[in-house]
Structure 1
Amino acid sequence: MSVSKGPLEIALEAEAPIDLADRIIDALRYRIGKDRQAARPHDWLAATVLTVRDRVIDKWMASTRNAHASGAKRVYYLSLEFLIGRLLRDALSNLGVMEEVRAALSSLDVDLEIIREIEPDAALGNGGLGRLAACFMESLASLDLPAYGYGIRYVNGMFRQRIDDGWQVELPETWLEYGNPWEFERRESAYHVGFGGEVIADEAALAKWVPGEQVIAMAVDTPVVGYGGKRVNTLRLWNAHAIDPIRLDAFNAGDHIGALAGKNRAESLTRVLYPADSSSAGQELRLRQEYFFSSASLQDILRRHIQYFGDIRTLPDKAAIQLNDTHPAVSVAEMMRLLIDVHNLGFEEAWKITVATFGYTNHTLLPEALESWPLALFERLLPRHTQLIYAINANVLKAARKVRPDDDAFVAAISLIDERGDRRVRMANLAFAGSHSVNGVAALHTQLMKETVFADLNTLYPNRINNKTNGITPRRWLQQCNPRLTSLIREAIGDSFLARAENLTDLDAFASDAAFQEKFAAVKRHNKVDLSEYLRRTLGIKTDPDAMFDVQIKRIHEYKRQLLNILETVALYNQIRLHPERDWTPRVKIFAGKAASSYHRAKQIIKLANDVARRINADPAVGSLLKVAFIPNYNVSLAELIVPAADLSEQISTAGLEASGTGNMKFALNGALTIGTLDGANIEIRDRVGDDNIFIFGMTADQVAARRAEGYDPAAAINASPELAQALANIGSGVFAPDDPARYTDLVHDLFHSDWFMVAADFDAYERTQRRIDKVFQHSAIWTEKAVHNTANMGWFSSDRTIQQYAADIWGMI
Structure 2
Amino acid sequence: MTSNPSAQVHGSNELSLNAIDLQDRCELSNRTGMDSETLKRAFLNNLFYVQGKFPALATTNDYYMALAYTVRDRLLQRWINTAATYTELGSRTVAYFSAEFLMGPHLGNNLINLGIYDQVEQGMAELGLSLDELQEEEEEPGLGNGGLGRLAACYLDSLATLDIPSLGYGIRYEFGIFDQDIRDGWQVELTDKWLSAGNPWEIARPEWSVEIKLGGHTENYTDDYGNFRSRWVPDQVVKGIPYDTPILGYQTNTANTLRLWTAEAPESFDFRSFNSGDYLGAVYEKMISENISKVLYPNDDSSQGKQLRLTQQFFFVSCSLQDMIRILHGQNLPLENFHKKFAVQLNDTHPAISVVELMRLLIDHHQMNWEQAWAITHQTFAYTNHTLLPEALERWPIELFGSLLPRHLELIYEINQRFLDEVRIKFPDDEERMIRMSLIDESGERYVRMAHLACVGSHAINGVAALHTELLQKDVLRDFYEMYPHKFTNKTNGVTPRRFMVLSNSQLSKLITSKIGDSWIKNLKELQQLEQFVDDAGFQVEWRRIKQHSKTELATYIQNNNGITVDPDSLFDIQAKRFHEYKRQHLSLLHIVTLYNRIKANPDIEITPRTFIFGGKAAPGYFMAKLIIKLINSVG
- Count of residues in Structure 1 that have an aligned counterpart in Structure 2: 601
Shift of 1:142: 0.3
CA distance in 1, matches of 2:554, 2:307: 42
Q: Which moved more, 1:14-23 or 1:588-597?
A: 14-23
What TM-score results when the alignment is normalised by the length of structure 2?
0.93
Letter in 2 for 1:169: V
Query: Is the 2:154–2:495 Cα contact (8 Å) retained in structure 1?
Result: yes
Deviation at 1:314, TM superposition (A): 1.0
Given the alignment, which residue of 97, 109, 118 partners 1:78? 97
1:190 corresponds, among 198, 204, 209, to 209
1:476 aligns with 2:499: yes
Instruction: Report the Cα offset of residue 227 of structure 1.
Output: 0.2
Tell me which residue corresponds to 1:245: 268
Distance in 1 (alpha carbons) for counterparts of 2:363 and 2:593: 61
**Superimposed CA distance per residue, residues 647-696 of structure 1 (whole angstroms, 9 cap, x where no aligned partner):** xxxxxxxxxxxxxxxxxxxxxxxxxxxxxxxxxxxxxxxxxxxxxxxxxx
Please say if residues 202 and 246 of structure 2, whose CA atoms lie closer than 8 Å, have aligned partners that are also in contact. Answer: yes
Kindly provide the amino acid, as one letter, of the partner of residue 548 in structure 1.
L
In the alignment, which of 490, 495, 505 is matched to residue 467 of structure 1? 490
**Is 1:230 aligned with 2:253?**
yes
* Amino acid corresponding to residue 103 of structure 1 in structure 2: Q
2:321 to 278, 298, 316: 298
CA distance in 2, matches of 1:321, 1:473: 21
Q: Give the AA of the match of 1:44.
A: Y
1:748-806 alpha-carbon deviations (Å, 9 max, x no partner): xxxxxxxxxxxxxxxxxxxxxxxxxxxxxxxxxxxxxxxxxxxxxxxxxxxxxxxxxxx
Q: 2:189 and 2:55 mapped to 1: Cα distance?
A: 38
Q: Give, in whole Å, the separation in 2 of the partners of 1:453 and 1:78.
A: 23
Tell me how far apart the structure 1 counterparts of residues 332 and 358 of structure 2 sit (CA, whole Å).
18
Tell me, which stretches of 5 or more residues in structure 1 are unaligned?
Answer: 1-12, 614-814
CA contact (8 A) 2:168 2:257 kept: yes
Counterpart CA distance in 1 for 2:216 and 2:529 is 63
Following TM superposition, by how much is the alpha carbon of 1:482 offset from its aligned partner in structure 2, in angstroms?
A: 0.8
Deviation at 1:203, TM superposition (A): 5.5
Match of 1:212 in 2: 235
Deviation, structure 1 residue 251: 3.3
- Equivalent residue number for residue 458 of structure 1: 481
Matched, 1:370 2:393: yes
Q: Provide the rounded CA distance (Å) in 1 between the counterparts of 2:476 and 2:598.
A: 42
C-alpha change, 1:167 and 1:425, in structure 2 (3 Å) is: same
Whole-Å separation in 1 of the counterparts to 2:117 and 2:370? 53
Q: Shift in Å at residue 14 of structure 1? A: 6.8
Residues 619-768 of structure 1: pairs in structure 2 closer than 5 A: none
The 3-state SS of whatever aligns with 2:435 is helix
Counterpart-to-counterpart distance in 2, 1:275 and 1:15: 43
Q: Does 1:109 align with 2:132?
A: no
Give the counterpart letter for 1:174 in structure 2. K
- Residues 498-537 of structure 1 mapped to structure 2, 5 A cutoff: 498-537=521-560
- Taking the aligned partners of 1:51 and 1:496, their CA distance within structure 2 comes to 28
Q: Equivalent residue for 2:54? A: 35
Q: Whole-Å Cα distance in 2 between the matches of residues 522 and 84 of structure 1?
A: 30
The answer as to whether partners of 1:193 and 1:217 remain within 8 angstroms in 2 is: yes
Letter in structure 2 aligned against 1:453: V
**What is the match of residue 94 of structure 1?**
113
1:18-63 deviation per Cα after TM superposition (whole angstroms, max 9, x unaligned): 1211111111111111113332211111111111111100000011
**Aligned-partner Cα distance in 1 for 2:613–2:633:** 11
Describe how 1:784-799 pairs up with structure 2 within 5 A: none
Matches within 5 A, 1:370-389: 370-389=393-412
Alignment-mate amino acid for residue 47 of structure 1: A
Q: Does 1:575 align with 2:598?
A: yes
Q: Distance in 2 between matches of 1:387 and 1:15?
A: 57
* CA displacement at 1:224 relative to structure 2: 0.5
CA distance in 1, matches of 2:339, 2:82: 22
Is 2:163–2:252's contact at 8 Å kept on the other side of the alignment?
no
1:547 aligned residue: 570
Give yes or no for contact 2:94–2:165 (8 Å, CA) kept in 1.
yes
Query: What secondary structure does 2:486 align onto?
Result: coil
Secondary structure of 1:560 counterpart: coil
In structure 2, what is the Cα distance between the partners aligned to 1:219 and 1:26? 28
Return the alpha-carbon distance in structure 2 between the equivalents of residues 330 and 37 of structure 1: 53
Read off the aligned partner of 2:171 and give its amino acid letter: I
Where 1:582 maps in the other structure, the secondary structure is coil
The answer (yes or no) to whether the contact 1:374–1:422 under 8 Å persists in 2 is yes
> In 2, Cα distance between the equivalents of 1:532 and 1:561?
24
CA RMSD of superposed structures (Å): 1.3
Distance in 2 (alpha carbons) for counterparts of 1:307 and 1:69? 11
In the alignment, structure 1 residue 119 sits paired with structure 2 residue 142: no
Give the whole-Å Cα distance in 2 for the aligned partners of 1:401 and 1:303.
39
Whether the 8 Å contact between 1:59 and 1:229 is mirrored in structure 2 is no
Deviation at 1:561, TM superposition (A): 1.6
Give the alignment partner of residue 69 of structure 1, picking from 55, 79, 88: 88
Matched, 1:47 2:66: yes
Which residue of structure 1 lines up, in the alignment, with residue 41 of structure 2?
22
Give the Cα separation in 2 of the matches to 1:16 and 1:584.
Answer: 53
CA contact (8 A) 1:124 1:273 kept: yes
Q: CA deviation at 1:116?
A: 0.8
Alpha-carbon shift at residue 258 of structure 1 (Å): 3.6
Equivalent residue, structure 2, for 1:734: none
Among 605, 615, 621, the residue aligned to 1:598: 621
Instruction: Tell me how far 1:499 sits from its aligned partner.
Output: 2.9
Q: 1:515 Cα shift?
A: 2.1
Query: What SS is found at the alignment partner of 2:204?
Result: strand
Q: Deviation string for 1:494-517 (max 9, x for gaps)? A: 222123221111011222322211
Q: Please state whether the residue corresponding to 2:545 is helix, strand or coil.
A: helix
CA distance in 2, matches of 1:40, 1:280: 44
Contact preservation (8 Å) 2:497, 2:522:
no
Quote the residue 1:138 is aligned against.
157
Q: How does 1:331-350 map to 2 (within 5 A)?
A: 331-350=354-373
Q: What amino acid sits opposite 2:456 in the alignment? A: A
Give distance in 2, aligned partners of 1:349 and 1:240: 32
Judge conservation of contact 1:329–1:428 (CA < 8 Å) in 2: yes
Which residue of structure 1 lines up, in the alignment, with residue 195 of structure 2? 176
Which residue of structure 1 aligns with residue 176 of structure 2? 157
Letter matched to residue 407 of structure 2: R
* Aligned residue identity for 1:565: S
* Contact residue 103 and residue 153 of structure 2 kept, 8 A: yes
Q: Provide the residue aligned with 1:788 in structure 2.
A: none
Instruction: Note the C-alpha offset of 1:456.
Output: 1.1
Cα shift readout 1:358-404 (whole Å, capped 9, x = no counterpart): 11111111112111000111011111111111111111010011112
Partner in structure 2 of residue 609 of structure 1: 632
The letter of the residue matching 1:168 is Q
1:289 and 2:312 aligned: yes
What do the CA deviations read for 1:233-260 (whole angstroms, capped 9, x no partner)?
A: 0000001001121333433443333432
- The answer as to whether partners of 1:141 and 1:147 remain within 8 angstroms in 2 is yes
What is the alpha-carbon distance in structure 2 between the residues aligned to residue 431 and residue 499 of structure 1? 32
Question: What SS is found at the alignment partner of 1:459?
Answer: helix
Q: What are the Cα deviations for residues 105-158 of structure 1, in whole angstroms up to 9, with x where unaligned?
A: 122111111111111100000100000000000000000011000000011111
Q: Is the CA contact (8 Å cut-off) linking 1:25 and 1:36 kept in structure 2?
A: no
Residue aligning to 1:398:
421
Aligned mates of 1:409, 1:142 — CA distance in 2: 47
CA contact (8 A) 1:14 1:97 kept: no
* Shift, 1:71, TM fit: 2.0
TM-score of the two chains, using structure 1 as the length reference: 0.73
